[in-house]
Amino acid sequence: MKILVTGAAGYIGSHVLKQLLETTQYSIVVVDNLSTGSQKTLDRLREIREFEFVKLDLKEFDKVATLLEEKHISIILHFAASIVVPESVLNPLKYYMNNTLNTTNLIKCAVDSGVKKFVFSSTAAVYGEPKELPADGVDEEFFTSPINPYGVSKLMSENILRDTAKAHPEFRFVIFRYFNVAGADIYYEDNVLNPRIGQSFPNATHLIKIASECACGKREKMAIFGDDFDTCDGTGVRDYIHVDDLADAHVKAIEYLDYNPSDTFNVGYGKGYSVKEVIEIMQAVTDTDFTVDKEPRRAGDPAKLISNNTKISNKINWVPKYDDLKLICKSAFEWEKEVEK
């Protein structure tokens, strides 16, 4: 069976590709336009075992259709997307075209060519800004109300997948709504943590990436955006999940779809850390003491976003291995030291 992985040169796609190469026998075709993903990442992964790489933009609809037919693809893992929230506010059409439109076409080509399984990267951004967080976290039935075009573009793609699967029961999907993904490849050389791949996206906005850039001296300082939230210490609380655990969920989803119906799952650890706690842990594990300023809240940031992960734990048999914020921070830092500015 042949799997197509779109966006596999990017952060999350590359960690999933790594696990597919290491733990399965599937033949793999990778599609990426290399706009934000890196060729180097693919070169490193090729050392694990061979896969096919086709440099292609998913907006080239005819080529996508031909590729699925010619390669006899039966499973698609779809990561290729634009993912920067503030950019989505300034340039919404880029998000509706790159995310929703290209995904719609990919789904159409998948149905036309007889693809049976489709695993889709979605986001907790579909939940928007919950006014009241349930005590045991946000579950999949929680009201979806995205507050930016990025979240809307993903929710629209989700709905298109659901409607398509209803009309074509032989086509099944798993949608994963990611919480705060962080860290890098857990790989040890001579007992030393030495990630082979990680997050290389320029102009990072994510907390753990920024803190790791400070810890290795690439950034002079950082800021906490808001310390007057209704949380344990006033700073925002999020559910940080290691990228390798997230990747494992995708590999398990492929087997899940052999025997189970289409479904949507949150992926997070179900527990929260505040911005202050994250920065303290990054400083402790890297033995650094960079400057941290205070700035006003960032527009649209909810106080707290924590997943309820009961559904994925029960139905997909997902058992996280790296539920340890120290290891998440340490792996992000070790990768950051390797990758150029």
Give the residues lining the site for ligand UDP (CB under 6 A): 180, 205-207, 210, 222-225, 236, 238, 275, 298, 301
Q: Minimum distance from CB of 328 to ligand UDP (Å)?
A: 12
Residue nearer to ligand UDP on the CB measure, 106 or 275: 275
Q: Minimum distance from CB of 276 to ligand UDP (Å)?
A: 9
Q: Which residue number is nearest to ligand UDP in terms of Cβ?
A: 236
What span, in angstroms and rounded, lies between the C-alpha atoms of 200 and 338?
Answer: 10
CB-CB contact of 179 with 124 (8 Å): yes
What span, in angstroms and rounded, lies between the C-alpha atoms of 159 and 75?
Answer: 19
Q: Minimum distance from CB of 207 to ligand UDP (Å)?
A: 4
Q: Minimum distance from CB of 56 to ligand UDP (Å)?
A: 28
Residue nearer to ligand UDP on the CB measure, 236 or 316: 236
Residue nearer to ligand UDP on the CB measure, 118 or 179: 179
Cα-flanking dihedrals φ and ψ of residue 28, to 5°? -125, 135
Residues paired with 192 in a beta bridge = 189
CB-CB contact of 131 with 138 (8 Å): no
Nearest to 77 by CA among 19, 139, 144: 19
Given 11, 96, 127, 150, the catalytic residue: 150
What span, in angstroms and rounded, lies between the C-alpha atoms of 105 and 260?
Answer: 25
What span, in angstroms and rounded, lies between the C-alpha atoms of 204 and 206?
Answer: 6
Per DSSP, 96 falls in state I
Question: Tokens 């930016």 map to which residue?
Answer: 148
Residue nearer to ligand UDP on the CB measure, 30 or 325: 325
Q: Minimum distance from CB of 327 to ligand UDP (Å)?
A: 17
E strand segments, the chain: 2-6, 27-32, 52-55, 73-78, 117-123, 172-178, 180-182, 188-189, 192-193, 221-225, 237-238, 240-242, 263-267, 273-274, 291-295, 304-305
Residue nearer to ligand UDP on the CB measure, 58 or 85: 85
The yes-or-no answer on residue 96 being catalytic is no
* Residues with Cβ within 8 Å of residue 85, at least 6 apart in sequence: 125, 148, 150, 151, 205, 300
Q: Minimum distance from CB of 81 to ligand UDP (Å)?
A: 14
Residue nearer to ligand UDP on the CB measure, 113 or 180: 180
Q: Where in the sequence numbering do the catalytic residues fall? A: 150
